[in-house]
C-alpha cells in the first residue's frame, strides 16, 4: 500500500466523482481508476459503489476513510514538528479554542506559557466543538477550551473558569429600566444565543431556565460572540454573555445587566485526551495544566 493510493482514495471519497477527483490530483482518470482498483484488491474489499447514479462510499470505505485521514493527520503533525525543530523550537503545542473566543484570561495564560516555555511553539486554532473533539482524538490538538462538559468518551473536561451570566441589550433598550432583569421580562423579547451545533449544549443554567419557561420563544442562533453583539446592538434581540468576556468588548452601542435570578453561571472547560499523548518533549500536558491552575489561583 503506497501513499499515492491513499491520496487518490481520500480525494475520490471527498469528490465522489472520478473526473473531478482526477482534476484535483492533476492526473488522468484512468490512473486514478487503476490506483483505486489496486487498493481495493490489496484490501480485499470494495471501497466504492459505482453505478448509473454515481459513486458512493461503501460502509468499509467510510471506516477506511476515517483511518486514512488519521494517517495523513499524523504525517502532517510530523512535518510540522520537524519544521518547528529546524526553527529552534523543541516542539509544537496545539490548542483549540471556540470560534470568536475573546477571553482575556486566555491571553494572559498564553503569555505566561510563552514566557515559561520559550522553546515550545504554541499554536492556537479556532474550532467548533465537533472539530475540537475530532482533533483531540486524532492528535491534531493537544488541548481545547469549550463551554460544555458533554464531550463523549476519551476526552476529559475539567472546569477552569466559572463566571456569572449577564444579559446583553442594545444601548437604549427598554429593559435597561431594570437594574436586574427578571427572566419573565426577558423571554418576551427575541433572543440571540450561541448555536449549540457550534459550541455544544452549554452547561449554563439559563438554557434550562428558558426551556422551562411556558412560552414560545423567538430565537436567533449565532456562531460567535461578535455576531451576537452585532445583532443585539442592531435591535434584533437580547443576548446572554459570560461576564468576564463581555467586559472587554467596550462597545458603546450595547449595555449589560445582571439577571434577577441569583447564581446563574457560565463554565469554561479545559479539554484534553485521556491518553495525554502528543505533547512536545519540552512540556508535558500536566505541566501546561499546572501553569493554568497557577494563574487561576492568583
Q: List, for residues 2-30, the tens digit of each pLDDT value.
A: 889 999 999 999 999 999 999 999 999 99
Q: Could you give the CA distance from residue 290 to residue 284 in angstroms, rounded to a whole number?
A: 10
Q: What percent of the chain has pLDDT over 70?
A: 84
Predicted confidence at residue 85, as pLDDT, reads 61
| CATH topology for the 160-267 domain | D-Maltodextrin-Binding Protein; domain 2 (3.40.190)
Q: Taking residues 227-231, what's their average pLDDT? A: 89
pLDDT in tens, 62-93: 999 988 887 887 777 677 767 656 654 556 78
pLDDT in tens, 240-272: 888 888 877 788 999 999 988 877 888 889 998
Predicted confidence at residue 282, as pLDDT, reads 44
Please provide the size of the chain in residues.
Answer: 298
pLDDT in tens, 189-227: 888 887 766 555 555 556 555 555 545 667 788 878 888
User: 6: how many CB neighbours lie within 10 A of its CB?
Assistant: 20
User: 116: how many CB neighbours lie within 10 A of its CB?
Assistant: 13
Asked if domains 76-159+270-297 and 160-267 share a fold, the reply is yes
- 52-64 burial, b at 16+ Cβ within 10 Å, e below that, comes to eeebebeeebeeb
- CATH for 3-68 is 1.10.10.10
pLDDT of 131 above 80: yes
Helical ranges in the chain per DSSP H = 3-15, 18-25, 29-43, 59-86, 104-116, 129-138, 183-186, 196-199, 205-212, 225-233, 243-246, 285-297
The pLDDT confidence band at residue 292, using thresholds 50, 70 and 90, is: confident
Least confident of 3-12, 78-87, 134-143, 153-162: 78-87
Query: Could you tell me which of 218, 246, 215 has the C-alpha nearest to residue 233?
Result: 246
Residue 111, burial from CB neighbour count under 10 angstroms (0-12, 13-18, 19+): exposed
Cα–Cα distances in Å, from 64 out to 33, 68, 263? 18, 6, 48
For 288, residues 6+ apart whose C-beta sits below 8 A from its C-beta are: 93, 113, 117, 142, 143, 279
Instruction: Give pTM, 2 decimals.
Output: 0.65
pLDDT of 178 above 50: yes
Q: Taking residues 162-171, what's their average pLDDT? A: 90
Domain segments of the chain: what residues? 3-68, 76-159+270-297, 160-267
User: Taking CA 152 as the corner, what is the angle to CA 273 and CA 72, rounded to the nearest 5 degrees?
Assistant: 55
- CATH for 76-159+270-297 is 3.40.190.10
Cell of 24: 484535483
Q: Taking residues 95-109, what's their average pLDDT? A: 83
pLDDT in tens, 268-288: 899 988 875 555 544 566 777
Of residues 61 and 123, which shows the higher confidence score?
61
Tell me which residue has cell 452549554: 202
Q: Output the average pLDDT for the chain.
A: 82
Amino acid at each position: 500500500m503506497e501513499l499515492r493510493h491513499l491520496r487518490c482514495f481520500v480525494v475520490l471519497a471527498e469528490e465522489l466523482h472520478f473526473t473531478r477527483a482526477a482534476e484535483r490530483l492533476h492526473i488522468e482518470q484512468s490512473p486514478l481508476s487503476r490506483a483505486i482498483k489496486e487498493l481495493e484488491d490489496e484490501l480485499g474489499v470494495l471501497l466504492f459503489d459505482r453505478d448509473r447514479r454515481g459513486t458512493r462510499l461503501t460502509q468499509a470505505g467510510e471506516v477506511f476513510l476515517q483511518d486514512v485521514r488519521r494517517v495523513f493527520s499524523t504525517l502532517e503533525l510530523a512535518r510540522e514538528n520537524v519544521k518547528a525543530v529546524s526553527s529552534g523550537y523543541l516542539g509544537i503545542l496545539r490548542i483549540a479554542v471556540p470560534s470568536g473566543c475573546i477571553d482575556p484570561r486566555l491571553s494572559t495564560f498564553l503569555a505566561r506559557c510563552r514566557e515559561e516555555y520559550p522553546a515550545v511553539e504554541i499554536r492556537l486554532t479556532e474550532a467548533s466543538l465537533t472539530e475540537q473533539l475530532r482533533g483531540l482524538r486524532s492528535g491534531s490538538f493537544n488541548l481545547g477550551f469549550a463551554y460544555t462538559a458533554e464531550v463523549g468518551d476519551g476526552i476529559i473536561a475539567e472546569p477552569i473558569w466559572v463566571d456569572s451570566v449577564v444579559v446583553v441589550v442594545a444601548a437604549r433598550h427598554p429593559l435597561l429600566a431594570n437594574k436586574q432583569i427578571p427572566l419573565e421580562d426577558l423571554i418576551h423579547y427575541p433572543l440571540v444565543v450561541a448555536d449549540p451545533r457550534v459550541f455544544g449544549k452549554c452547561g449554563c443554567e439559563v438554557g434550562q431556565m428558558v426551556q422551562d419557561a411556558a412560552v414560545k420563544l423567538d430565537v436567533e442562533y449565532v456562531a460567535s460572540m461578535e455576531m451576537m453583539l452585532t445583532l443585539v446592538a442592531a435591535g434584533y434581540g437580547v443576548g446572554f454573555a459570560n461576564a468576564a468576556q463581555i467586559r472587554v468588548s467596550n462597545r458603546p452601542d450595547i449595555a449589560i445587566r445582571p439577571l434577577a435570578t441569583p447564581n446563574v453561571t457560565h463554565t469554561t472547560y479545559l479539554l484534553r485526551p485521556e491518553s495525554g499523548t502528543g505533547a512536545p518533549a519540552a512540556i508535558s500536558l500536566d505541566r501546561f495544566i499546572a501553569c493554568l491552575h497557577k494563574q487561576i489561583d492568583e
